[in-house]
Amino acid sequence: MGFMDLREWIARLDKEGELRRITAEVDWDREIGAIARRVLEKKGPALLFEAIKGYRTGRCTKLFTGGLGSRDRLALALGFPRDVVNRDLVGYVMQKNRERIPAVTVRTGPVKDVIVRPPDIDQHEFPVPRWHYREGGRYIHTFSAIVTRDPDTRVMNAGIYRGMIGQRDTTPMLLIKGGQHWGQHFVKYAARGEPMPVACVIGWDPVMPLLAGSPIPAGVCEWDVMGAYRGEPAELVRCETVDLEVPATAEIVLEGLIADDPATYETEGPFGEFTGYVSDLPTPRPTMTLTCITHRRDPIFRGCLEGTLPGSASENSVMSSVQRAAIAWNILVAAGIPGIRDVVVHPITNGTNVCVQITKHYQGQPKQIAAALWGASAAQFRYKHVFVVEDDIDVSSYEQLDWALAYRMNAGEDGIVVFPGIFGSPIDPSTPLEDRDIRQLGTGLWNRVLFDATRNWKFPRRPEWDGERFPPTVRPAPEDEARVSERWSELGLGDV
């Protein structure tokens, strides 16, 4: 599967019956977000809004959202059938995350159709929603790839970070210096006394947000990993005013600079975050000053409703369910931990909880798993709670996890291990505000927890339990099950 631009992806979804065009007029202020929430609750299609109040004419008239809002559509974007099992999808992502096909730079592309420079820059010309009524403003960056470059190695990074329209040409953003790759770049530029060049890419191949929203290792360019996913080099063009390269067939690119100068900070937040809660309080944050906008003719704005609630998983949640599991599995493989059979991240937790299935090789193996995950930079916003079970438990089943927690975990026998005061998410509503002060702490602080729901090897093996450490379950003997299966129709149960 080669690269698709956003328009090809929309056409593919339309062909597969996974797109709905909304031609009735809708309001960008709260209504689009409320529609998107209800469609998520209904497990509905991707949406292309074609009649937005105040944007029936002008620079940009269409908004696309929900493209990766279901597991079926994520599988389609990755070239899999809808019914692909978790292990196969996660295994594919694990493999591709380790591969590289270097990007190439081309002279120009459709993203250069229109070039806007000061004083004509006005972000309000794009139909940016106010997604939720409690949000502090119109969030233009919810699904954008935010591109920066390490000034020492010159390796680019593309990440997904939130950004709100401030003035016509400014965007205050949640920028965390500790843990996030662009935050590390920001610290380096600040040490040089220079503003950091930034390019924000809105709308491209669906693999872009999948990779931009994932903590690919530092020093690896996401454009090169995207090439591995698509089997061909990503074609990039140079930005007009900053030293960065962006996809030639993207819809919109916003170029600019962010300085580590509190005098330039603008108020950002609150925002309806992936936790399902409205995050933090309005806070002065590092602010991007736009220097140029380039876009295609009749560009399509791309954004997403963030925030997962029971029954309505956001696009970020769907992506995280696969990508965060794949990244965790690769961390465990790199740490040399044996017996990893499956890793599942349920979409409702966005990777805050991770469930690991193992063939247990030794007592203490679950602690080793938790230590490996918690020591990785990928744990900045994820892997707060680690659940470890054995290979007879299906980690995709909440019911089986609950059974294992109820009858295999013993808190007094190290079944629950708390690791306090470690780096974590600054947007977790369960964390006190003083532990989320990134200006003072550089990051958020978490108390991480391991739930070891494996059978305790401290217990002696018993002959009456067939030489096992735990008593046998109440499942019938295999020969009894086989006999019942043979007689199923005879018993009048063939339709059951």
Q: Is the predicted pLDDT of residue 165 greater than 90, yes or no? A: yes
**pLDDT tens digit string along 26-35?**
999 999 999 9
Please report where in the chains the tokens 């798993």 appear, as a residue: 369
User: Is 146:158 a contact under the CB 8 Å cutoff?
Assistant: yes
**pLDDT tens digit string along 80-123?**
998 898 889 999 999 999 999 999 999 999 999 999 999 999 99
Using CA atoms, how far residue 358 sits from 334, 366, 454, in Å, is 16, 9, 9
Report pLDDT for 438.
Answer: 82
DSSP tag of 167: S
Rg (CA), the chain: 24
Report pLDDT for 375.
Answer: 93
Helix (H) or strand (E) holding 147: strand 145-149
Report pLDDT for 433.
Answer: 87
Angle (nearest 5°) at CA 302 between 300 and 305: 145
Report pLDDT for 74.
Answer: 95
- The helix/strand/coil state of 232 is coil
DSSP tag of 102: -
CA–CA distance, 358 with 340 (Å, rounded to integer):
5
**pLDDT tens digit string along 403-459?**
999 999 999 999 999 999 998 888 888 999 889 888 888 888 999 999 999 999 999
Q: What percentage of the chain carries pLDDT values higher than 70?
A: 100
Range 455-494 burial, b when 16+ CB lie within 10 A, else e: beeeeeeeeeeeeeeeeeeeeeeeeeeeeeeeeeeeeeee
HEC per residue, 46-59: EEEECCECCCCCCC
Q: Is the predicted pLDDT of residue 178 greater than 80, yes or no? A: no
User: Is 64:48 a contact under the CB 8 Å cutoff?
Assistant: yes
Q: Is the predicted pLDDT of residue 170 greater than 90, yes or no? A: yes
Mean pLDDT of 19-32: 96
Instruction: Give the residue from 198, 132, 195, 103 showing the smallest Cα distance to 159.
Output: 198
Residue-by-residue DSSP string for 430-473: TS-GGGG-HHHHSSEEEEEEEEE-SPPTTSPPBGGGTTBSS---
Range 292-318 burial, b when 16+ CB lie within 10 A, else e: bbbbbeebbbbbbbbbbeeebbbbbbb
Give the domains, in start order, of the chain with CATH numbers: 6-302 (2.30.110.10), 315-452 (3.40.1670.10)
CA–CA distance, 122 with 290 (Å, rounded to integer):
9
Mean pLDDT of 208-228: 91
CA–CA distance, 113 with 298 (Å, rounded to integer):
10
* Tokens matching residue 240: 């007009």
Report pLDDT for 381.
Answer: 86
Q: Is the predicted pLDDT of residue 24 greater than 90, yes or no? A: yes
Q: Is the predicted pLDDT of residue 197 greater than 90, yes or no? A: yes
**Which residues, at least 6 apart from 162, have a Cβ–Cβ distance to it below 8 Å?**
139, 141, 142, 173, 174, 271, 273, 306
Per-range mean pLDDT, top range of 8-17, 180-189, 271-280: 8-17
**pLDDT tens digit string along 124-159?**
999 999 999 999 999 999 999 999 999 999 999 999
**pLDDT tens digit string along 363-372?**
999 999 999 9
Provide the mean pLDDT of the chain: 94
137 vs 218 pLDDT, higher one: 137
Q: Is the predicted pLDDT of residue 179 greater than 80, yes or no? A: no
